[in-house]
A and B are shown apart, each in its own frame.
Chain A
Protein backbone atom coordinates (compact mmCIF):
# COMPACT_ATOMS: atom_id res chain seq x y z
CA UNK A 1 0.00 0.00 0.00
CA UNK A 2 1.23 3.50 -0.81
CA UNK A 3 0.22 6.39 1.42
CA UNK A 4 0.10 9.97 0.27
CA UNK A 5 -0.25 13.07 2.39
CA UNK A 6 -1.12 16.41 0.83
CA UNK A 7 -0.44 19.75 2.46
CA UNK A 8 -1.99 22.98 1.33
CA UNK A 9 -4.06 25.89 2.47
CA UNK A 10 -7.84 26.21 2.61
CA UNK A 11 -9.07 27.26 -0.82
CA UNK A 12 -6.23 25.62 -2.78
CA UNK A 13 -8.19 22.47 -3.55
CA UNK A 14 -6.15 20.14 -1.33
CA UNK A 15 -9.07 17.78 -0.77
CA UNK A 16 -9.92 17.74 -4.48
CA UNK A 17 -6.32 16.83 -5.30
CA UNK A 18 -6.45 13.86 -2.91
CA UNK A 19 -9.74 12.75 -4.49
CA UNK A 20 -8.23 13.02 -7.99
CA UNK A 21 -5.34 10.77 -6.94
CA UNK A 22 -7.81 8.14 -5.66
CA UNK A 23 -10.01 8.39 -8.75
CA UNK A 24 -6.98 8.07 -11.06
CA UNK A 25 -5.65 5.05 -9.17
CA UNK A 26 -9.09 3.44 -9.34
CA UNK A 27 -9.19 4.07 -13.09
CA UNK A 28 -5.79 2.35 -13.29
CA UNK A 29 -7.52 -0.69 -11.79
CA UNK A 30 -6.29 -0.35 -8.25
CA UNK A 31 -7.94 0.01 -4.84
CA UNK A 32 -7.93 3.59 -3.58
CA UNK A 33 -9.12 5.83 -0.78
CA UNK A 34 -9.09 9.59 -0.23
CA UNK A 35 -10.26 11.66 2.70
CA UNK A 36 -9.80 15.08 4.27
CA UNK A 37 -8.40 15.71 7.70
CA UNK A 38 -10.45 18.88 8.06
CA UNK A 39 -13.91 18.94 6.60
CA UNK A 40 -14.42 22.64 6.95
CA UNK A 41 -11.88 24.59 5.01
CA UNK A 42 -11.11 28.05 6.18
CA UNK A 43 -9.41 30.03 3.46
CA UNK A 44 -5.69 30.17 4.10
CA UNK A 45 -5.60 27.74 7.01
CA UNK A 46 -3.18 24.80 6.72
CA UNK A 47 -5.10 21.75 5.48
CA UNK A 48 -4.13 18.12 5.12
CA UNK A 49 -5.74 15.50 2.95
CA UNK A 50 -4.82 11.88 2.44
CA UNK A 51 -4.89 9.21 -0.24
CA UNK A 52 -4.02 5.53 -0.25
CA UNK A 53 -3.40 3.25 -3.21
CA UNK A 54 -3.24 -0.50 -2.85
CA UNK A 55 -3.71 -3.79 -4.68
CA UNK A 56 -6.00 -5.10 -1.92
CA UNK A 57 -9.11 -3.44 -0.42
CA UNK A 58 -8.25 -0.62 1.99
CA UNK A 59 -9.84 -0.82 5.42
CA UNK A 60 -7.88 1.50 7.70
CA UNK A 61 -9.24 5.00 8.31
CA UNK A 62 -6.37 6.42 10.31
CA UNK A 63 -4.63 9.53 9.02
CA UNK A 64 -1.39 9.06 7.09
CA UNK A 65 1.49 9.04 9.58
CA UNK A 66 4.16 7.28 7.47
CA UNK A 67 3.74 8.86 4.04
CA UNK A 68 5.38 7.37 0.97
CA UNK A 69 4.67 10.62 -0.86
CA UNK A 70 4.22 14.13 0.48
CA UNK A 71 2.72 16.80 -1.76
CA UNK A 72 3.16 20.44 -0.76
CA UNK A 73 0.88 22.79 -2.66
CA UNK A 74 2.09 25.91 -0.87
CA UNK A 75 5.79 26.35 -0.15
CA UNK A 76 5.08 28.88 2.62
CA UNK A 77 3.94 25.86 4.66
CA UNK A 78 7.53 24.62 4.80
CA UNK A 79 8.14 27.20 7.53
CA UNK A 80 4.76 26.78 9.23
CA UNK A 81 4.08 23.03 9.42
CA UNK A 82 6.26 19.96 10.08
CA UNK A 83 5.83 18.82 6.49
CA UNK A 84 8.23 15.88 6.75
CA UNK A 85 6.79 14.26 9.86
CA UNK A 86 6.76 10.50 9.55
CA UNK A 87 8.81 10.53 6.34
CA UNK A 88 11.05 7.48 5.78
CA UNK A 89 14.19 7.18 3.67
CA UNK A 90 12.27 6.56 0.46
CA UNK A 91 9.55 9.15 0.95
CA UNK A 92 9.22 11.39 -2.09
CA UNK A 93 8.35 15.06 -1.58
CA UNK A 94 6.78 17.10 -4.36
CA UNK A 95 6.70 20.83 -3.79
CA UNK A 96 5.09 23.67 -5.69
CA UNK A 97 7.94 26.16 -5.89
CA UNK A 98 10.24 27.87 -8.37
CA UNK A 99 13.26 26.86 -6.28
CA UNK A 100 15.42 23.84 -7.13
CA UNK A 101 15.44 20.84 -4.72
CA UNK A 102 18.88 21.86 -3.41
CA UNK A 103 17.37 25.08 -2.03
CA UNK A 104 14.69 23.25 -0.01
CA UNK A 105 15.45 22.73 3.66
CA UNK A 106 13.73 19.49 4.69
CA UNK A 107 15.04 16.47 6.63
CA UNK A 108 14.77 14.23 3.55
CA UNK A 109 17.49 13.36 0.99
CA UNK A 110 17.72 15.94 -1.79
CA UNK A 111 17.30 13.22 -4.43
CA UNK A 112 13.82 12.54 -3.01
CA UNK A 113 12.66 16.13 -3.45
CA UNK A 114 10.94 17.20 -6.65
CA UNK A 115 10.01 20.79 -7.31
CA UNK A 116 7.64 22.16 -9.90
CA UNK A 117 6.50 25.73 -10.39
CA UNK A 118 2.88 24.66 -10.56
CA UNK A 119 1.67 28.18 -9.75
CA UNK A 120 3.47 29.58 -12.81
CA UNK A 121 2.06 26.83 -15.05
CA UNK A 122 -1.41 27.42 -13.64
CA UNK A 123 -1.22 31.18 -14.21
CA UNK A 124 0.06 30.72 -17.76
CA UNK A 125 -2.29 27.99 -18.91
CA UNK A 126 -5.36 28.11 -16.65
CA UNK A 127 -5.14 31.87 -16.10
CA UNK A 128 -5.70 31.54 -12.35
CA UNK A 129 -3.59 30.36 -9.42
CA UNK A 130 -5.37 26.99 -9.24
CA UNK A 131 -2.44 24.60 -9.19
CA UNK A 132 -3.94 21.61 -7.38
CA UNK A 133 -4.37 19.64 -10.61
CA UNK A 134 -1.08 20.90 -12.07
CA UNK A 135 1.07 19.55 -9.24
CA UNK A 136 -0.55 16.15 -9.78
CA UNK A 137 1.13 16.02 -13.20
CA UNK A 138 4.45 16.21 -11.39
CA UNK A 139 3.19 13.65 -8.85
CA UNK A 140 2.33 11.18 -11.63
CA UNK A 141 5.73 11.68 -13.25
CA UNK A 142 7.83 11.52 -10.07
CA UNK A 143 6.07 8.57 -8.40
CA UNK A 144 4.53 6.56 -11.22
CA UNK A 145 1.68 5.76 -8.79
CA UNK A 146 -0.98 6.87 -11.27
CA UNK A 147 -0.81 6.96 -15.05
CA UNK A 148 -1.05 10.26 -16.89
CA UNK A 149 -4.00 8.90 -18.88
CA UNK A 150 -5.91 7.95 -15.71
CA UNK A 151 -5.11 11.29 -14.10
CA UNK A 152 -6.47 13.15 -17.11
CA UNK A 153 -9.58 10.98 -17.15
CA UNK A 154 -10.06 11.61 -13.43
CA UNK A 155 -9.95 15.38 -14.05
CA UNK A 156 -12.44 15.04 -16.91
CA UNK A 157 -14.84 13.11 -14.64
CA UNK A 158 -14.43 15.33 -11.63
CA UNK A 159 -14.62 18.60 -13.60
CA UNK A 160 -17.47 17.51 -15.88
CA UNK A 161 -19.75 20.24 -14.50
CA UNK A 162 -17.11 22.97 -14.95
CA UNK A 163 -17.35 22.89 -18.75
CA UNK A 164 -14.90 21.85 -21.50
CA UNK A 165 -12.79 25.03 -21.49
CA UNK A 166 -11.70 24.81 -17.85
CA UNK A 167 -11.25 21.05 -18.12
CA UNK A 168 -9.06 21.35 -21.24
CA UNK A 169 -6.87 24.00 -19.65
CA UNK A 170 -6.37 21.80 -16.60
CA UNK A 171 -5.44 18.85 -18.81
CA UNK A 172 -2.93 20.96 -20.72
CA UNK A 173 -1.42 22.23 -17.47
CA UNK A 174 -1.11 18.69 -16.11
CA UNK A 175 0.69 17.59 -19.28
CA UNK A 176 3.04 20.55 -18.97
CA UNK A 177 3.90 19.61 -15.36
CA UNK A 178 4.30 15.95 -16.37
CA UNK A 179 6.93 16.94 -18.97
CA UNK A 180 9.18 18.68 -16.46
Chain B
Protein backbone atom coordinates (compact mmCIF):
# COMPACT_ATOMS: atom_id res chain seq x y z
CA UNK B 1 0.00 0.00 0.00
CA UNK B 2 1.83 3.11 -1.22
CA UNK B 3 1.84 6.38 0.61
CA UNK B 4 0.08 9.09 -1.39
CA UNK B 5 -0.57 12.76 -0.86
CA UNK B 6 -4.31 13.34 -0.90
CA UNK B 7 -7.02 15.68 0.19
CA UNK B 8 -8.62 14.34 3.40
CA UNK B 9 -12.00 14.00 1.71
CA UNK B 10 -10.46 11.96 -1.10
CA UNK B 11 -8.69 9.72 1.41
CA UNK B 12 -12.01 8.97 3.11
CA UNK B 13 -13.85 8.46 -0.19
CA UNK B 14 -11.20 5.99 -1.42
CA UNK B 15 -11.43 4.13 1.88
CA UNK B 16 -15.22 3.91 1.64
CA UNK B 17 -14.87 2.63 -1.94
CA UNK B 18 -12.63 -0.17 -0.63
CA UNK B 19 -15.06 -0.92 2.20
CA UNK B 20 -17.68 -1.52 -0.52
CA UNK B 21 -20.97 -0.40 0.95
CA UNK B 22 -24.02 -1.56 -1.03
CA UNK B 23 -25.87 1.75 -0.64
CA UNK B 24 -24.57 5.30 -0.38
CA UNK B 25 -26.96 8.18 0.12
CA UNK B 26 -26.16 11.76 1.01
CA UNK B 27 -27.16 15.35 0.55
CA UNK B 28 -24.29 17.76 -0.15
CA UNK B 29 -23.29 20.25 2.52
CA UNK B 30 -20.04 22.13 3.07
CA UNK B 31 -17.50 20.85 4.19
CA UNK B 32 -18.67 17.26 3.65
CA UNK B 33 -19.24 17.83 -0.09
CA UNK B 34 -15.95 16.60 -1.54
CA UNK B 35 -16.40 13.17 0.06
CA UNK B 36 -19.79 12.50 -1.50
CA UNK B 37 -18.83 14.12 -4.81
CA UNK B 38 -15.88 11.73 -5.02
CA UNK B 39 -18.13 8.77 -4.20
CA UNK B 40 -20.61 9.84 -6.87
CA UNK B 41 -17.76 10.15 -9.38
CA UNK B 42 -16.37 6.69 -8.56
CA UNK B 43 -19.83 5.33 -9.26
CA UNK B 44 -20.31 7.21 -12.54
CA UNK B 45 -16.80 6.20 -13.68
CA UNK B 46 -17.70 2.56 -13.11
CA UNK B 47 -15.11 2.14 -10.35
CA UNK B 48 -17.69 1.30 -7.68
CA UNK B 49 -20.88 -0.71 -7.72
CA UNK B 50 -22.79 0.66 -4.76
CA UNK B 51 -26.23 2.11 -5.30
CA UNK B 52 -25.77 5.89 -5.04
CA UNK B 53 -29.12 7.37 -4.05
CA UNK B 54 -29.41 11.11 -4.42
CA UNK B 55 -31.53 12.46 -1.59
CA UNK B 56 -33.63 15.61 -1.40
CA UNK B 57 -32.42 16.44 2.12
CA UNK B 58 -30.29 15.07 4.93
CA UNK B 59 -33.45 13.79 6.59
CA UNK B 60 -34.11 11.73 3.47
CA UNK B 61 -30.49 10.59 3.14
CA UNK B 62 -30.47 9.30 6.72
CA UNK B 63 -33.84 7.62 6.16
CA UNK B 64 -32.62 5.97 2.95
CA UNK B 65 -29.54 4.48 4.59
CA UNK B 66 -31.64 3.48 7.61
CA UNK B 67 -34.03 1.58 5.33
CA UNK B 68 -31.23 -0.07 3.37
CA UNK B 69 -29.46 -1.03 6.57
CA UNK B 70 -32.68 -2.50 7.98
CA UNK B 71 -32.84 -4.67 4.86
CA UNK B 72 -29.31 -5.94 5.56
CA UNK B 73 -27.16 -3.76 3.32
CA UNK B 74 -23.84 -2.18 4.28
CA UNK B 75 -24.46 1.57 3.99
CA UNK B 76 -22.69 4.92 4.12
CA UNK B 77 -23.68 8.55 4.48
CA UNK B 78 -21.93 11.79 5.39
CA UNK B 79 -22.98 15.21 6.54
CA UNK B 80 -22.06 18.33 8.52
CA UNK B 81 -23.59 20.95 10.77
CA UNK B 82 -27.19 21.83 9.85
CA UNK B 83 -27.35 18.63 7.84
CA UNK B 84 -26.72 16.59 10.96
CA UNK B 85 -29.26 18.66 12.87
CA UNK B 86 -31.84 17.96 10.18
CA UNK B 87 -30.98 14.25 10.42
CA UNK B 88 -31.32 14.23 14.19
CA UNK B 89 -34.65 12.45 14.43
CA UNK B 90 -33.45 9.67 12.13
CA UNK B 91 -30.09 9.56 13.91
CA UNK B 92 -31.88 8.61 17.14
CA UNK B 93 -34.04 6.07 15.32
CA UNK B 94 -31.04 4.43 13.66
CA UNK B 95 -29.46 3.78 17.07
CA UNK B 96 -32.71 2.61 18.65
CA UNK B 97 -33.29 0.27 15.71
CA UNK B 98 -29.75 -1.13 16.17
CA UNK B 99 -28.76 -0.42 12.57
CA UNK B 100 -25.03 -0.58 11.78
CA UNK B 101 -25.04 2.64 9.74
CA UNK B 102 -21.70 4.38 9.30
CA UNK B 103 -21.59 8.12 8.80
CA UNK B 104 -18.85 10.69 8.44
CA UNK B 105 -19.46 14.00 10.13
CA UNK B 106 -17.22 16.66 8.60
CA UNK B 107 -17.42 18.77 11.73
CA UNK B 108 -18.66 22.32 11.32
CA UNK B 109 -20.23 24.92 13.61
CA UNK B 110 -23.99 25.43 13.77
CA UNK B 111 -26.33 28.32 12.95
CA UNK B 112 -27.16 31.05 13.85
CA UNK B 113 -25.13 32.96 12.85
CA UNK B 114 -24.23 30.89 9.81
CA UNK B 115 -20.72 29.50 9.81
CA UNK B 116 -19.26 27.01 7.41
CA UNK B 117 -16.07 26.53 9.40
CA UNK B 118 -14.97 23.93 11.85
CA UNK B 119 -15.92 23.20 15.42
CA UNK B 120 -17.57 20.27 17.22
CA UNK B 121 -20.97 21.74 18.04
CA UNK B 122 -22.71 19.65 15.37
CA UNK B 123 -21.51 16.31 16.71
CA UNK B 124 -22.24 17.32 20.29
CA UNK B 125 -25.88 17.96 19.35
CA UNK B 126 -26.34 14.21 18.80
CA UNK B 127 -23.88 12.83 21.36
CA UNK B 128 -26.75 11.30 23.39
CA UNK B 129 -28.32 9.45 20.45
CA UNK B 130 -26.67 6.07 21.05
CA UNK B 131 -24.04 6.15 18.27
CA UNK B 132 -20.43 5.14 18.55
CA UNK B 133 -18.56 8.43 18.02
CA UNK B 134 -14.93 8.49 16.94
CA UNK B 135 -12.78 11.62 16.39
CA UNK B 136 -9.78 11.70 14.04
CA UNK B 137 -6.58 13.70 14.44
CA UNK B 138 -5.33 13.40 10.87
CA UNK B 139 -6.05 11.75 7.53
CA UNK B 140 -4.48 8.43 8.49
CA UNK B 141 -6.52 8.20 11.64
CA UNK B 142 -9.72 9.16 9.80
CA UNK B 143 -9.08 6.38 7.30
CA UNK B 144 -8.45 3.81 10.03
CA UNK B 145 -11.46 4.92 12.03
CA UNK B 146 -13.76 4.43 9.04
CA UNK B 147 -12.68 0.80 8.66
CA UNK B 148 -12.92 0.30 12.43
CA UNK B 149 -16.33 1.99 12.48
CA UNK B 150 -17.73 -0.65 10.10
CA UNK B 151 -16.12 -3.45 12.10
CA UNK B 152 -17.52 -2.15 15.37
CA UNK B 153 -20.92 -1.27 13.93
CA UNK B 154 -21.44 -4.63 12.26
CA UNK B 155 -20.17 -6.55 15.26
CA UNK B 156 -22.33 -4.71 17.80
CA UNK B 157 -25.31 -3.80 15.57
CA UNK B 158 -24.90 -0.17 16.51
CA UNK B 159 -24.33 2.87 14.29
CA UNK B 160 -20.96 4.63 14.20
CA UNK B 161 -20.03 8.20 13.33
CA UNK B 162 -16.49 9.19 12.35
CA UNK B 163 -15.84 12.84 13.07
CA UNK B 164 -13.21 14.70 11.08
CA UNK B 165 -12.68 18.42 11.33
CA UNK B 166 -14.20 20.29 8.42
CA UNK B 167 -11.65 22.05 6.19
CA UNK B 168 -8.81 21.32 8.63
CA UNK B 169 -8.91 17.67 7.59
CA UNK B 170 -11.48 17.47 4.78
CA UNK B 171 -9.80 20.15 2.64
CA UNK B 172 -6.14 19.66 3.55
CA UNK B 173 -3.48 17.68 1.70
CA UNK B 174 -1.08 15.39 3.52
CA UNK B 175 0.55 11.98 3.03
CA UNK B 176 -1.71 9.00 3.76
CA UNK B 177 -1.88 5.27 3.06
CA UNK B 178 -5.26 4.01 1.85
CA UNK B 179 -6.08 0.54 3.16
CA UNK B 180 -5.98 -2.03 0.42
CA UNK B 181 -9.33 -3.43 -0.79
CA UNK B 182 -8.38 -7.08 -0.20
CA UNK B 183 -7.13 -6.38 3.31
CA UNK B 184 -10.29 -4.41 4.06
CA UNK B 185 -12.34 -7.41 2.95
CA UNK B 186 -10.26 -9.71 5.12
CA UNK B 187 -10.65 -7.39 8.11
CA UNK B 188 -14.37 -6.70 7.76
CA UNK B 189 -15.69 -9.86 6.13
CA UNK B 190 -19.19 -9.81 4.69
CA UNK B 191 -21.78 -7.78 6.53
CA UNK B 192 -23.95 -10.11 8.61
CA UNK B 193 -27.20 -8.41 9.54
CA UNK B 194 -28.94 -9.47 12.75
CA UNK B 195 -31.36 -12.06 11.37
CA UNK B 196 -34.07 -11.44 13.98
CA UNK B 197 -34.13 -7.78 13.07
CA UNK B 198 -33.97 -8.00 9.28
CA UNK B 199 -36.65 -6.40 7.13
CA UNK B 200 -37.76 -8.93 4.55
CA UNK B 201 -40.86 -8.61 2.32
CA UNK B 202 -41.27 -12.40 2.48
CA UNK B 203 -41.57 -12.31 6.25
CA UNK B 204 -43.09 -8.96 7.19
CA UNK B 205 -42.37 -7.63 10.64
CA UNK B 206 -42.28 -4.32 12.50
CA UNK B 207 -39.15 -2.93 14.01
CA UNK B 208 -38.93 -0.24 16.68
CA UNK B 209 -42.67 0.34 16.66
CA UNK B 210 -43.91 0.96 20.18
CA UNK B 211 -42.79 0.28 23.73
CA UNK B 212 -45.07 0.72 26.71
CA UNK B 213 -43.79 2.17 30.00
CA UNK B 214 -43.39 -1.42 31.17
CA UNK B 215 -40.64 -2.04 28.58
CA UNK B 216 -39.24 1.22 27.19
CA UNK B 217 -36.81 1.89 30.02
CA UNK B 218 -35.23 -1.57 29.82
CA UNK B 219 -34.87 -1.29 26.04
CA UNK B 220 -33.03 2.03 26.38
CA UNK B 221 -30.91 0.62 29.18
CA UNK B 222 -29.97 -2.30 26.95
CA UNK B 223 -28.94 0.17 24.24
CA UNK B 224 -26.75 1.97 26.77
CA UNK B 225 -25.21 -1.30 27.99
CA UNK B 226 -24.50 -2.51 24.47
CA UNK B 227 -22.93 0.81 23.52
CA UNK B 228 -20.67 0.60 26.58
CA UNK B 229 -19.48 -2.84 25.44
CA UNK B 230 -17.60 -1.14 22.58
CA UNK B 231 -15.09 0.08 25.15
CA UNK B 232 -13.91 -3.47 25.65
CA UNK B 233 -13.98 -4.23 21.91
CA UNK B 234 -12.27 -1.24 20.32
CA UNK B 235 -8.71 -1.64 21.72
CA UNK B 236 -8.52 -5.20 20.42
CA UNK B 237 -9.91 -4.25 17.01
CA UNK B 238 -7.54 -1.28 16.76
CA UNK B 239 -4.63 -3.61 17.52
CA UNK B 240 -5.84 -6.09 14.87
CA UNK B 241 -6.15 -3.24 12.40
CA UNK B 242 -2.62 -2.06 13.12
CA UNK B 243 -1.25 -5.58 12.66
CA UNK B 244 -3.02 -6.08 9.33
CA UNK B 245 -2.57 -2.68 7.70
CA UNK B 246 0.53 -1.06 9.06
CA UNK B 247 3.10 -2.54 6.74
CA UNK B 248 4.67 0.89 6.24
CA UNK B 249 5.74 1.88 9.72
CA UNK B 250 4.90 5.50 9.07
CA UNK B 251 1.23 4.66 9.38
CA UNK B 252 1.62 2.83 12.68
CA UNK B 253 -0.35 4.23 15.62
CA UNK B 254 1.59 6.15 18.23
CA UNK B 255 2.74 4.52 21.44
CA UNK B 256 0.21 5.26 24.17
CA UNK B 257 -2.63 4.87 21.68
CA UNK B 258 -5.15 2.12 22.45
CA UNK B 259 -7.85 3.08 19.95
CA UNK B 260 -9.95 4.74 22.66
CA UNK B 261 -7.48 7.47 23.50
CA UNK B 262 -3.86 8.43 23.09
CA UNK B 263 -1.54 9.82 25.75
CA UNK B 264 1.32 11.89 24.36
CA UNK B 265 4.17 13.33 26.39
CA UNK B 266 6.02 12.62 29.62
CA UNK B 267 4.30 10.25 32.07
CA UNK B 268 5.20 12.61 34.92
CA UNK B 269 3.33 15.55 33.38
CA UNK B 270 1.92 18.05 35.87
CA UNK B 271 -0.65 19.46 33.46
CA UNK B 272 -2.40 17.49 30.75
CA UNK B 273 -4.45 19.06 28.00
CA UNK B 274 -7.40 16.97 26.85
CA UNK B 275 -8.48 17.46 23.24
CA UNK B 276 -10.37 15.76 20.42
CA UNK B 277 -9.82 15.74 16.67
CA UNK B 278 -7.25 17.64 14.64
CA UNK B 279 -6.42 19.95 17.53
CA UNK B 280 -4.35 17.07 18.94
CA UNK B 281 -1.65 17.62 16.32
CA UNK B 282 -1.22 21.28 17.20
CA UNK B 283 -1.38 20.37 20.91
CA UNK B 284 1.46 17.82 20.56
CA UNK B 285 3.69 20.44 18.97
CA UNK B 286 2.63 22.94 21.64
CA UNK B 287 3.54 20.66 24.60
CA UNK B 288 6.87 19.77 22.97
CA UNK B 289 7.65 23.47 22.67
CA UNK B 290 6.44 24.17 26.22
CA UNK B 291 8.43 21.26 27.68
CA UNK B 292 11.64 22.58 26.10
CA UNK B 293 11.25 25.86 28.02
CA UNK B 294 12.06 26.52 31.68
CA UNK B 295 8.38 26.35 32.80
CA UNK B 296 7.97 23.03 31.02
CA UNK B 297 11.17 21.57 32.47
CA UNK B 298 9.85 22.27 35.97
CA UNK B 299 6.19 21.33 35.29
CA UNK B 300 6.03 19.22 32.13
CA UNK B 301 2.82 19.01 30.12
CA UNK B 302 1.25 16.22 28.06
CA UNK B 303 -1.70 15.70 25.70
CA UNK B 304 -4.63 13.36 26.17
CA UNK B 305 -6.45 12.80 22.90
CA UNK B 306 -9.91 11.28 23.19
CA UNK B 307 -10.47 9.20 20.04
CA UNK B 308 -13.65 7.42 21.14
CA UNK B 309 -16.04 9.96 22.63
CA UNK B 310 -19.13 7.72 22.78
CA UNK B 311 -19.09 5.43 24.58
CA UNK B 312 -16.94 7.54 26.86
CA UNK B 313 -13.75 5.70 27.90
CA UNK B 314 -13.93 6.46 31.63
CA UNK B 315 -11.67 3.67 32.88
CA UNK B 316 -9.07 4.13 30.15
CA UNK B 317 -9.03 7.86 30.84
CA UNK B 318 -8.46 7.43 34.58
CA UNK B 319 -5.71 4.93 33.90
CA UNK B 320 -4.00 7.16 31.32
CA UNK B 321 -4.08 10.22 33.55
CA UNK B 322 -2.51 8.41 36.52
CA UNK B 323 -1.62 10.85 39.25
CA UNK B 324 -1.93 14.13 37.39
CA UNK B 325 -3.05 17.16 39.37
CA UNK B 326 -4.21 19.53 36.65
CA UNK B 327 -6.26 18.91 33.54
CA UNK B 328 -6.99 21.57 30.94
CA UNK B 329 -9.88 20.49 28.75
CA UNK B 330 -9.64 22.30 25.43
CA UNK B 331 -12.76 21.81 23.37
CA UNK B 332 -14.50 23.13 20.28
CA UNK B 333 -18.03 22.96 21.67
CA UNK B 334 -20.09 24.17 24.59
CA UNK B 335 -23.31 23.00 26.17
CA UNK B 336 -24.82 26.47 26.30
CA UNK B 337 -25.85 27.39 29.82
CA UNK B 338 -23.52 24.78 31.33
CA UNK B 339 -19.93 23.94 30.28
CA UNK B 340 -18.02 22.13 27.57
CA UNK B 341 -19.35 18.60 27.01
CA UNK B 342 -15.92 16.95 27.22
CA UNK B 343 -15.16 18.66 30.54
CA UNK B 344 -18.52 17.51 31.90
CA UNK B 345 -17.82 13.93 30.84
CA UNK B 346 -14.40 13.94 32.45
CA UNK B 347 -15.72 15.49 35.68
CA UNK B 348 -18.40 12.83 35.93
CA UNK B 349 -15.79 10.09 35.42
CA UNK B 350 -13.33 11.46 37.95
CA UNK B 351 -13.40 9.81 41.39
CA UNK B 352 -14.06 12.31 44.18
CA UNK B 353 -11.20 11.01 46.33
CA UNK B 354 -8.60 11.93 43.68
CA UNK B 355 -7.88 15.67 43.83
CA UNK B 356 -7.87 17.33 40.42
CA UNK B 357 -7.80 20.86 39.15
CA UNK B 358 -9.93 20.82 36.02
CA UNK B 359 -10.21 23.90 33.84
CA UNK B 360 -12.41 24.11 30.77
CA UNK B 361 -11.36 26.15 27.75
CA UNK B 362 -13.74 26.68 24.84
CA UNK B 363 -11.75 27.34 21.68
CA UNK B 364 -11.97 27.45 17.92
CA UNK B 365 -15.72 27.98 17.52
CA UNK B 366 -16.68 28.71 13.93
CA UNK B 367 -13.17 28.04 12.65
CA UNK B 368 -11.17 30.42 14.84
CA UNK B 369 -7.59 29.26 14.53
CA UNK B 370 -6.23 27.54 17.65
CA UNK B 371 -2.52 28.34 17.74
CA UNK B 372 0.30 26.69 19.66
CA UNK B 373 0.76 29.99 21.47
CA UNK B 374 -2.87 29.88 22.71
CA UNK B 375 -2.40 26.30 23.88
CA UNK B 376 0.79 27.14 25.78
CA UNK B 377 -1.05 30.00 27.49
CA UNK B 378 -3.81 27.55 28.40
CA UNK B 379 -1.24 25.19 29.99
CA UNK B 380 0.02 28.12 32.07
CA UNK B 381 -3.43 29.40 33.02
CA UNK B 382 -5.06 26.06 33.82
CA UNK B 383 -3.90 25.68 37.47
CA UNK B 384 -5.50 29.04 38.31
CA UNK B 385 -8.85 28.25 36.68
CA UNK B 386 -10.20 25.29 38.61
CA UNK B 387 -13.82 24.55 37.70
CA UNK B 388 -13.96 27.60 35.44
CA UNK B 389 -15.25 27.73 31.90
CA UNK B 390 -13.27 30.17 29.76
CA UNK B 391 -13.87 31.16 26.17
CA UNK B 392 -10.52 31.75 24.45
CA UNK B 393 -10.87 34.36 21.71
Q: Which residues of chain A have a CB within 8 Å of any CB of chain B?
A: 15, 19, 22-23, 26-27, 31-36, 39-40, 57-63, 65
Contacts and interface: CB of A to CB of B under 8 A. Distances in A.
B171 A22 contact: no
Nearest to A18: B173
B1 interface: no
A60 B285 contact: yes
B5 interface: yes
Contacts of B98: none
Contacts of B172: 33-35, 61
Nearest to A21: B173
B370 interface: yes
Interface stretch (B274-282, B291-299, B340-348): B274-282
B30 A61 contact: no
B117 interface: yes
A19 B250 CA distance: 21
B167 A36 contact: yes
A26 B279 contact: no
A100 B370 CA distance: 37
A60 B372 contact: yes
B28 interface: no
Interface of B: 5, 7, 30-31, 116-117, 138, 166-168, 171-175, 250, 278-279, 281-282, 284-285, 369-372
B371 A39 contact: no
9 smallest beta-carbon distances between A and B, as pairs: A59-B281, A35-B172, A26-B5, A34-B173, A60-B285, A39-B167, A62-B371, A22-B173, A60-B282
B279 A61 contact: yes
Contact of A32 (B5, B7, B167): B5
B346 to A, nearest CB: 23
B173 A23 contact: yes
Contacts of B138: 59
Contacts of A22: 5, 173-174
A66 to B, nearest CB: 11
Contact of B30 (A32, A35, A39): A39
Given A39-B30, A40-B30, A62 B173 contact: no
Nearest to B137: A59
Contact of A23 (B5, B171, B370): B5
18 contacts: A19-B7, A19-B173, A23-B5, A23-B173, A33-B172, A33-B174, A34-B172, A34-B174, A35-B168, A39-B30, A39-B31, A39-B166, A59-B138, A60-B281, A60-B285, A61-B172, A61-B278, A61-B281
B132 to A, nearest CB: 25
Given A36-B167, A39-B30, A57-B250, A62 B370 contact: yes
Contacts of A58: 174
A25 B31 CA distance: 26
Contacts of A39: 30-31, 116-117, 166-167, 171
A31 B369 contact: no
A29 B285 CA distance: 22
B5 A35 contact: no
Nearest to A40: B116
Contacts of A15: 171
A33 B372 contact: no
Contacts of A26: 5, 175
Contacts of A19: 7, 173
Contacts of B175: 26, 31-32, 57
A65 B370 CA distance: 12
Given A33-B172, A61-B370, 13 more contacts: A19-B7, A19-B173, A23-B173, A31-B175, A32-B5, A34-B174, A39-B31, A39-B117, A60-B282, A61-B281, A62-B369, A62-B371, A63-B371
